[in-house]
Amino acid sequence: PLRDVVVYPHMVIPLFVGRDKSIQALETAMNGQKKIFVVAQKDAADDDPNQAGLYSVGTVATILQLLKLPDGTVKVLVEGQRRAQVDDIIDTGRLLLASVNEHPNPSLDATQAEALLRSLLAEFEQYVKQAKKVAPEVWNSVQTIKDPYRLADTIAAHLSLKLEEKQEILEILNLEERVQHLLGVMDSEVDLLKVEKRIRGRVKKQMEKTQREYYLNEQIKAIHKELGELNEAGSAENEFAELEQRIEKAGLPAEARKKVDAELKKLRMMPPMSAEATVVRSYIDWM
């Protein structure tokens, strides 16, 4: 039994196995023809699923490599061979034994095979361009496949689908029906990805517009502030010039003039709106 994964024919995949019954099944297979039946379980949380807890269609696979890990689990590399329908599953207590009917791949005429290949490749190319999740080497490899059975399963293995959707594809035994289903799935995914792309584009533009407006507003504020400071500085200079003229005209005694000049110098160093500046200004006016 497999958790959260569907193995298709022609698919090579590493599996990490920890359940005792599954490890026993692998060891038994390694001592024989290295054949196992892999099938997805319906509930990933079920540690000991019975036949009712498993899907009815799985894949007969060949063990390519088995590695026992220090923690007691096993890493196994398997390659899917053929779809198979479950007849019966026997729990011996030590392991699960499956009786299955393998599903053959009927031969196709050249025209039919070519039509299926072209349809699958054309739609998968659109999916690859939109999804951006399929590695370039996968696309390059897929283009070299000349068997429509293998191509359909290889494409299915690389689609971002839920377990139930992947299992549904596995259970379609007729190739033409499977291809039509795959084309529909990819077409729907491409449409959805295009909509998501348009939405992301609009959101990005709106964010850029908002950021641009914020930046411009901050620039305007800075300019206004700068102009305000310049105006304040200009007004202050005019005021000091006026005070100096009044002091000159007042004809103050030397001692008083010295005192007023000192206060005027002090006033220049003060913030214009401070309370101390107001006091000093009043004192100069009084003098």
**Looking at the predicted structure, is the pLDDT value of residue 100 above 80?**
yes
pLDDT exceeds cutoff 70 at 276: yes
Does 252 or 36 have the greater pLDDT score?
36
- Segment 207-233 shows an average pLDDT of 70
Bridge pairing between strands 57-68 and 74-91: antiparallel
Residue 280 vs residues 54, 261, 274: alpha-carbon distances, Å: 94, 12, 10
Lowest mean per-residue pLDDT among 10-24, 144-158, 181-195, 270-284? 270-284
Length of the chain as a residue count: 287
Fold of 110-198: Methane Monooxygenase Hydroxylase; Chain G, domain 1 (1.20.58)
Q: How far apart are CA 199 and CA 274, in angstroms?
A: 54
pLDDT of residue 273: 63
pLDDT at site 165: 95
Separation between Cα atoms, residue 193 and residue 187, nearest integer Å: 10
For residue 242, the tally of other CB atoms under 10 A from its CB is 10
CA nearest to 147, candidates 195, 124, 114, 102: 114
Q: pTM surpassing 0.95?
A: no
Mean pLDDT of 55-66: 96
The per-residue pLDDT for 244 is: 75
pLDDT at 227: 59
Query: Looking at the chain, which residues constitute the CATH 1.20.58.1480 domain(s)?
Result: 110-198
**pLDDT bracket for residue 194 (50, 70, 90):** confident
How far does Cα 34 stand from its chain's mean position? 38
* Burial (CB count <10 Å: 0-12, 13-18, 19+), residue 171: middle
- Evaluate if residue 125 carries a pLDDT over 60: yes
The pLDDT, as a whole number, for residue 237 is 65
Q: Which CATH architecture has domain 12-102?
A: Roll (2.30)
> Is 122 within 8 Å of 143 (Cβ atoms)?
no
Going by pLDDT thresholds of 50, 70 and 90, the confidence category of residue 118 is very high
Res 37: pLDDT: 95
For position 130, what pLDDT does the model report? 86
Domain with CATH 2.30.130.40 in the chain: 12-102
Work out the pLDDT band at 69, boundaries 50, 70, 90: very high
Mean pLDDT of the chain: 86
The pair phi, psi for residue 223, each rounded to 5°, is -65, -45
Least confidently predicted of 119-123, 127-131, 238-242: 238-242
Banded model confidence at residue 26, pLDDT cuts 50, 70, 90: very high
Question: Three-state SS for 217?
Answer: helix
pLDDT at 211: 83
Separation CA 56–CA 45 (nearest Å): 18
**In whole angstroms, what is the distance from residue 263 CA to residue 139 CA?**
84
Helix (H) or strand (E) holding 168: helix 163-171
